[in-house]
A and B are shown apart, each in its own frame.
Chain A
Amino acid sequence: MRLNKVILVMFVVFCAVFLMSFAGWAQKAGFDDKEIRIGQWGPQTGPAAPWGAVARGTRVIFDLVNEEGGIHGRKIRYFIRDDQYNPSQTMAAVRDLVDRQGVFAFVGGVGTAPGLAVRDYLRQKKIIWTSVCTGAKGFYDPFNPYLWGVWVLYEDDGSIIAKFLVEKKKFKKIAYLYQNDDWGADAMVGIKKRLKTYGMDLVAAVPVEPIERDLSSQVARLKASGAEAVIGMVAPTQAAIALRTAVSVGFHPQWIHSYNLTDYVLMNMITDGLWAKEGVMTSAFTEDIFNYNIPIVKKYADAAKRLYPQERWGIFFAAGIVVAEPLVEALKRTGRNLSTEAVANQLNNLTFQGMGPKIKWTATNHRPPRELRIWQCGPKGEVIVVQDWTVNELPLELDKKK
C-alpha cells in the first residue's frame, strides 16, 4: 500500500518535471563589451596527440590580435579543450564551452569523427564554425549555413596530385597506397576521375590498415605493378615505413603524399633522411612556412617563437593559424556591432588569402578552396615548390548526386 503511494507521487512529479523541462536553459552569449570568446577542440593527450598542435597554434594569431588591442575594442578569449579524439568527449567539451563559458565561434577542430559528432549541435545552436580540420565531404552535404571550410577536400587533393604526375611529370604508370577508410576512398575517387580524362587507370591500388606496422607485402605489390610513381594517402608513420621498406628492396618510384604530410622536418627525422634523399613530394595547402622571406610567414613564425618558444614551428602548429585567419578577418570587417548574423554575413562574402589557400565563400557556397600546391623535399630537407597553386576543375562527387 505504502509503495503504491510512493509510486504515484513519483509519477506525478515525473510528469510535472517532464512538462516543465521543455522550457530549456538560456544559453550564454558568446561575447560582451570586453571580449569575444572562441573555442577549439583537439586531442592534447592520447594516441592522436600530435594533431593537438593545431589547437595550440591558433593561440599565436589570437595573441597577436590581442597585442594589437583586440578587434574593435574587444579582446579574444580563446579556449582549448582536449577531446582525446573521442567523439563523446568532443560533445562534452563543446557543450561545456557553449553552456558554461558562452562561446561565439569555434575554429578548426581536428578530425572527422569528433567534428561529425558536434556538427548538428553547433548548427542547431547557430554557432559560427570555420575550418574544420578534415577534408571529409560529409561536412558540406547537406549545406550547413554556420560552417565554413578551409581544409581542402580529399577528392581535390587526389585529383590535383594525379594531374601533376601526368601532365608535368609525364608518368605513365601510377600506383596508389591508401589508408583503408573514407580518406583513402575519397582521394581515390579524385585520382581515378582525373586519370580517366587521360584514358589511364591506376596500375595498383593497395590498402593499408591504420594500425599496420609491417608494409612489406604492400610494397611488394607496388613494386610488382612496375609503378613509376606512387601516390600515398597514409599517416606519417606508415609513409615512413613504406619508404624504408621500398628503399630496402630497391624500389625507387617518385613518392607523392597528401598535404597532411608536409612536415618535412618531422618526416626526415622518422625516415633517417630518406625523405630528402628520395626527393619525396607532397601536395601542400600553405605558403612555405620555413621561407621567412614571405612577410606573413615571418610575422607568424616570429610571433610563435616569441610567445611560445617551447613549441616547434611545424606544419600543424602553423595550420592552427591558417584555420583562424578567416574568422579574424571577418570579425575585423564586421566592426563594433557584433552579432552572429553580422559575422556570418561577412564570412559569406569573404575573399581572402592569408597563409593558406585563397578563400572565396558565398552565401550558398561554404566549401573549402579547391586549390593546392605541390612541394618536393630538397636534399637538405628544405621545401622546393615544384608547382604553384593549381585548381581542380573537375566536378566533385558531392555535386553529382543532385
Chain B
Amino acid sequence: MDMKRSYYEDIELFKSGTILFWSIIFLLALFTFPLYTSDYSIYLMSLIMVYVIVSVGLNILVGSTGQISLGHAGFFAIGAYATVLLMTHLQVPFFVAIIAAAFIAAFFGFILGLPALRLEGPYLTIATLAFGLAIMHVIGHTEIFGGRQGLIAPELDLGIKQLGLNFVISTVTQKYYLVLGFTIVMVLFAINILKTKPGRAFVAIRDSDIAAEVIGINLTIYKTLSFAVSAFYAGIAGGLFAFVLGFFDPFTFNLILSIIFIVMIVVGGLGSVMGSISGAALITYLMYDLFKNVDEAPFIGPLFLSFSERWMTITGMDNFNYIALGLVMIGIMLFEPLGLFGAWIRIKKYWKTWPF
C-alpha cells in the first residue's frame, strides 16, 4: 500500500505523523481511563490487556510462524502458578518472580517446540492440546500447587521486601496501571521482534519451511524460539492474571481457554499485532460483558427472555451470549478472513483518496 523507499522506513515504529498522533491519543485515553469509569470497567480493561498479551504472543507463534498451539492455557497457568509460588514460598520480589515465571513458561515452550520439528498440522495441534490438558491435571494433583482448591494470590508488593522497600498495591486502578505498563512493553517488543531477523525467519518458516532452510534459516533454533517467545508472553500474562483476579484454580486454565485464545487471534487477524489487540479486546468484551445487563433493560430484555423461553433453554439471556459470540466468529470467517485487521486495511484503502 505505502511506498517504502528505504529499509529504515520499513522498520520505523510509527510510519507517519498521523499514526504517531493517534497512537499518543490512544495511549492517553488508556492512561486516563480509570478517571471516568467504574471499578468494574477498570477490572474488565485489565483483563482485556492480560488477554492482549497472550494473544500477541500466540500470534507470533500461530500467525507469524504458522505453528498452531492449543496448549496456551498451559503456559498461562505456568505463569500464574510460578509467579505466585515464587513470591509466597521463596519471597522473591514481584518483578523478578514474574520474569522468572515467564522464563519457566518459555522453557516449557522450548520443550514443546521440539516435537514441532517433526510434527506438522493436526499432529502438532494434538501434541500441544495434550500438553495443555496435562498441565492442568498435574497442577490439580500436586499439593504445593494448591491442588484442586486453587491458590489465593498474595499481597502485591512491587518493592523488594528484603531491602525494606515496600510498595504494596491493592486497588484495581493500581493494578490496571501495572498491567498497562506490561502490555505496552510487551506489544512494543512484539512489533520489534517481527521486524528483526527472528521475525523475518518466523515468517519464512510459515511460508515454506523447506525454502527457509535452503536460504539458511536454522529450523531447530527458530521453531523452538518461536514457541519459547510465545510461551514467554503467556507466562507474563499468567502472572498478571493471578493478581488481577486474586484467586485461581487449575480448571480456570482449561481447554476452552486455549481455544478462546486461538479465536481471539483469528478474529483479530493472523500475523498482525494490531489484530491480536483488537481480537482480544472484542472477544473478551463479548464473553464478559455483552448481554449481561440486557435482562434488566426495558422492552428488549423481556423480548429476548420470552424468545429464549419459547425457543431455547430456560437459562434465559445467557443463551444469546454464545449465539452472539458464534455469529461474530462465523461472520468474520465468511466476510473478512483476515480478521478485524483485514477490515481495517480495507477501510483505510477506501478512505485513502477521500474527499475525492
Contacts and interface: CB of A to CB of B under 8 A. Distances in A.
Interface of A: 6, 10, 13-14, 17-18, 20-22, 24-25, 27, 44-45, 49, 52, 56, 79-82, 85-89, 91-93, 95-96, 98-101, 112-113, 116-117, 119-121, 136, 138, 180-182, 308, 310-311
Contacts, number: 132
A86 B247 CA distance: 11
A100 B288 CA distance: 14
A185 to B, nearest CB: 8
A87 B248 contact: yes
Shortest Cβ-Cβ A-B pairs, 7 listed? A181-B148, A44-B315, A99-B40, A82-B318, A99-B38, A95-B40, A44-B318
Contacts of A45: 315, 318-319, 321-322
Interface string B230-268: 000000000001000111110110000000000000000
Interface in B105-156: 140-141, 147-150, 152
Contacts of A181: 140, 147-149
B28 A120 contact: no
B44 A92 contact: yes
A197 B177 CA distance: 56
B47 interface: yes
B27 interface: yes
A98 B38 CA distance: 10
Given A20-B35, A82-B321, A116-B152, A311 B245 contact: no
B289 A92 contact: yes
Interface in B1-44: 20, 24, 27-28, 31-32, 34-35, 37-41, 43-44
Nearest to A100: B40
A116 B171 contact: no
Contacts of B34: 17, 21
Given A86-B252, A87-B249, A92 B28 contact: no
Contacts of B31: 10, 13-14, 17
Contacts of A89: 287-288
A52 B316 CA distance: 11
B348 interface: no
19 contacts: A10-B24, A22-B174, A25-B37, A27-B39, A45-B318, A45-B319, A82-B317, A87-B150, A88-B248, A89-B287, A92-B40, A92-B43, A92-B47, A95-B43, A98-B40, A99-B40, A117-B245, A120-B152, A310-B309
B39 A56 contact: no
Contacts of B287: 89
Given A17-B34, A82-B315, A99-B38, 8 more contacts: A14-B177, A21-B34, A21-B35, A44-B316, A45-B322, A82-B318, A88-B241, A96-B40
A46 to B, nearest CB: 8
A95 B39 contact: yes
A88 B314 contact: no
A113 B150 contact: yes
Given A14-B31, A100-B40, A121-B246, A113 B252 contact: yes
A116 B247 contact: yes
B192 interface: no
B237 to A, nearest CB: 12
Contacts of B150: 87, 113, 116
B247 A99 contact: no
Contacts of B32: 13, 17
Contacts of A44: 315-316, 318
Nearest to A25: B38
B173 A138 contact: no
A208 B34 CA distance: 46
A79 B295 contact: yes
B292 interface: yes
Contacts of A17: 31-32, 34-35
Contacts of B309: 310
B28 A13 contact: yes
Interface in B295-334: 295-296, 309, 314-319, 321-322
A17 B177 CA distance: 10
A267 to B, nearest CB: 21
A284 B41 CA distance: 41
Interface string B164-200: 0000000101100100000000000000000000000
B353 interface: no
B245 A87 contact: yes
Contacts of B147: 181-182
Given A10-B24, A88-B245, A95-B39, A18 B149 contact: no
Given A49-B315, A88-B47, A81 B292 contact: yes
Nearest to B316: A44
A96 B40 CA distance: 5
Contacts of B322: 45
A15 B140 CA distance: 41
B243 to A, nearest CB: 12
Contacts of A18: 174, 177
Contact of A182 (B149, B173, B177): B149
B162 interface: no
Nearest to B251: A113
Nearest to B249: A113
A96 B245 contact: no
Contacts of B28: 10, 13
B235 to A, nearest CB: 17
A138 B319 contact: no
Contacts of B20: 6
Given A17-B31, A82-B318, A92-B40, A6 B171 contact: no
